[in-house]
Structure 1
Amino acid sequence: MNDKDRNKEELINELIQLRKRNTELKSSLMEGNPGDLVLPIIDHGRTTNITERKEVKEGLYRSNQKLNEILSSIQDDFYVLDRDWNFVYANRQFTSRIDKEPQDFIGNNIWRMFPKHIGTEYEENIRSVMDKREIRRFDVGGKYTDSYYQMAVFPSEEGITVLGIDITEQKKAEKRIKEQNAQLLQQINLTSMQANLLNLSNEAIFVWDLNGAITYWNAGAEKMYGYSSKEAVGSVSHDLLKTVHPIAIGNIIFMLERYKSWNGEVEHTSKFGKKLYIETSHQVILNELGQQIVLETNRDITQRKKMENDIQNLNCELLKINETLEESNCELEEMNAQLEETNATFEEEISEHKITALELQETLRELSETKNYLNNILESSTKYSIIGKDLNHRILSWNEGAVRNYGYTAEQIIGKDSSTLYSPEDLKSGEVDKMLKLAFEKGVAEGELQRVRKDGSRFIASVVVTRRNDSTGDPIGYLLMSHDISEKKEEEAARKKSEEEIKK
């Protein structure tokens, strides 16, 4: 019980005593014998009845005045019941709840006026006070209003005195607090579950506030960077990982505050000094307290960057090879022209019987060297498969890269139909014919196809098909250059699956 309620009960006790004294004073006046209620006034050694009655009346007046002061100070429901359960007194605060005046209650039985209270906790408690003459306190919900009351019932001379304090707002506040606690507990459980799910991810996931301080660090981050959660939490992420951003950190914070997300590539340094290239995703979310935090998901692309650099270097090598091939084609065209001239000369010399066996051997040697030179160019690439075939799809050339990727030696595959290298699905869907048709019409075509090795295993390849022309520009076949991208495709699928699980 708080001090305010205690003061109210003290007033009620004082009120009960005043009402008791009032009754005694009234009784004394009616009987004409004030008894011990007031001290007698002595005038010349004797007590006068007139003076005593005057004193009693004045005491009664003062008692009534004090009684009215107390009653007017009570702003809660207040009423008095006699032992027959009839209303002796009811204040306006109480009677106005059912749109009645205090005089409408006086002399009326509470159970006839309020039958809904029969058989309730309210009836049980006030009957107990009436019978046992002991104070009781309890909370009840209104039967005629939507309010809640804190009841205090006191035994009194007439019967019982009842004080009802409206605690509806308090009850509502308690209900709101209970609901908020339940929501908070639910949020805590959800946060705990989400943290457990994040710990299952192989990607580095951590949370920081907009000032940069880390508040959560998952198992994937521990594995990637080498810092334990205890070491990382509380540190500024940019300082801990020595982050090299593509743009100023202030610009990134601005975009997070305005657009709630930022994606890009950064450079991090692990606990052990290893440089890592990171593909990062920043997402602004609200924590259980409604505060903005940043969920950072990082994927190590160091190996991919290395592969991209290798591919870039290979592309440079291929450009050089293409340039060499173009130069070789020019040389071959020149050689063909020279051969034609030589043939004409040979025919002329033969006709004139001037050609010699030595000159013929020298020409054949030059042709053999040219052929070897072209074969060396084709065989120079081991990471890329370079395959030549004619318009009927018969394989004409097969480099070392093709041997490594497909498992066939040149002797095993040259002269065979190239359909052996395609999956039945790609052949049936028409993807292969579509790519060859595009290369035939446009000169070049690119795409991704499933390829089949000698042992029957499959891999996904990035394929570039170039049309081969003869010296007159007429198509005579195709040159296929391809490399295995299966690992890249698996990484992309794993990343997509992880992102979908986080979104759930």
Structure 2
Amino acid sequence: MIKPNPNQNLVVGSMSHEQELNNYKQRIANILESFTDAFFEVSGDWTILYWNKEAERLLDMPRETAVGQNLWQLYPEAVGLKFYTEYHRAIKMNTAVRFEEYYPPKDVWLEVSAFPDGNGLSIYFRNITERVSHLQAIEKQNSKLKEIAWIQAHKVRGPLSNIMGLASLLNDQNLDIAQIKEIAIRMKISAQDLDCVIKQIIEKG
């Protein structure tokens, strides 16, 4: 008669627990891979632990190359930027951080959120280059409009006031021909000045 192995249930239970753990890890991985945001995770010593497919695409860095590497050795250009200071602040203060920063090597603006978990950081980021470019274009246009408004308020007023003042002199019935010619010459000069200002406004627009 074969005696039951008292350790058999323990082995089966252990395998079941391990399978559940693996299933859980796979579910987490599936969730992270489904993010539209890029995501990566680092340990307390800045070793990259996880790197999702959107991070691969956005930074053009394969997961196999990134995972296991020190973040700052992999991206030394980021050390002098907000990425470095804000990630360290998140770890030191144990607080979530959110910021926007330009990353020159990829010519991209990134919106970043980083969350400490006691052992490292979970970092989410997305490409906001198009949004930033749009805002910069608006700011540039606003700057042009302000400059045009200043030109209209200051440079136009001078020659226009001269023309109006000279025109009022023509109402004087006692002017002789020489005086009228002098006024006409001055009006022409002021008109030319005004024309230059108008052309400048058109070019600015």
* Pair in the same fold by TM > 0.5: yes
195 and 139 in structure 1: CA distance in 2 versus 1, 3 angstrom threshold = same
The amino acid that maps onto 2:93 is K
| Contact 1:136/1:152 (8 A) holds in 2 | yes
> Does 2:72 match 1:111?
yes
Q: Which has the larger radius of gyration?
A: 1
2:32 to 71, 75, 80: 71
The amino acid that maps onto 2:178 is S
> Does 2:176 match 1:496?
no
- RMSD of aligned residue pairs (Cα, Å): 3.4
> Does 2:56 match 1:102?
no
192 and 220 in structure 1: CA distance in 2 versus 1, 3 angstrom threshold = farther
- CA distance in 1: counterparts of 2:183 and 2:72, whole angstroms: 79
Deviations 1:465-489 (A, max 9, x none): xxxxxxxxxxxxxxxxxxx853553
Deviation at 1:68, TM superposition (A): 3.7
Summarize the alignment of residues 462-477 of structure 1 with structure 2, pairs less than 5 Å apart.
none
Structure 2 SS opposite 1:140: strand
The amino acid that maps onto 1:201 is N
166 and 52 in structure 1: CA distance in 2 versus 1, 3 angstrom threshold = same
- CA distance in 2: counterparts of 1:120 and 1:129, whole angstroms: 15
75 and 182 in structure 1: CA distance in 2 versus 1, 3 angstrom threshold = same
Summarize the alignment of residues 449-468 of structure 1 with structure 2, pairs less than 5 Å apart.
none
Deviation at 1:190, TM superposition (A): 0.6
Residue in 1 that maps onto 2:54:
93
| Contact 1:83/1:158 (8 A) holds in 2 | yes
> Does 2:143 match 1:486?
no
> Does 2:41 match 1:83?
no
| Contact 2:91/2:116 (8 A) holds in 1 | yes
The amino acid that maps onto 2:115 is F
Deviation at 1:220, TM superposition (A): 8.4
| Contact 2:102/2:110 (8 A) holds in 1 | yes
Identity of aligned residues (%): 21
Pairs aligned (count): 185
Deviations 1:177-222 (A, max 9, x none): 211111110010011114422551343xxxxxxxxxxxxxxx889x
Deviation at 1:60, TM superposition (A): 5.5
Structure 1 SS opposite 2:69: coil
- CA distance in 2: counterparts of 1:491 and 1:140, whole angstroms: 60
Deviation at 1:76, TM superposition (A): 2.4
Deviations 1:367-415 (A, max 9, x none): xxxxxxxxxxxxxxxxxxxxxxxxxxxxxxxxxxxxxxxxxxxxxxxxx
Residue in 2 that maps onto 1:183:
144
The amino acid that maps onto 1:88 is L
| Contact 1:117/1:143 (8 A) holds in 2 | no
Deviation at 1:153, TM superposition (A): 0.7
Q: What TM-score comes out, normalization by structure 1 length?
A: 0.32
Deviation at 1:174, TM superposition (A): 1.9
Structure 2 SS opposite 1:144: helix
- CA distance in 1: counterparts of 2:104 and 2:194, whole angstroms: 51
Structure 2 stretches lacking a partner, 5+ long = 1-8, 197-205
> Does 2:92 match 1:131?
yes
- CA distance in 2: counterparts of 1:107 and 1:485, whole angstroms: 93
> Does 2:107 match 1:163?
no
The amino acid that maps onto 1:106 is V
| Contact 2:170/2:180 (8 A) holds in 1 | no
More strand by share: 1
Deviation at 1:90, TM superposition (A): 0.4
Q: Which runs of 4+ in 1 moved over 6 A?
A: none
1:147 to 108, 112, 130: 108
Residue in 1 that maps onto 2:199:
none
The amino acid that maps onto 2:31 is I
The amino acid that maps onto 1:84 is D
- CA distance in 2: counterparts of 1:112 and 1:55, whole angstroms: 37
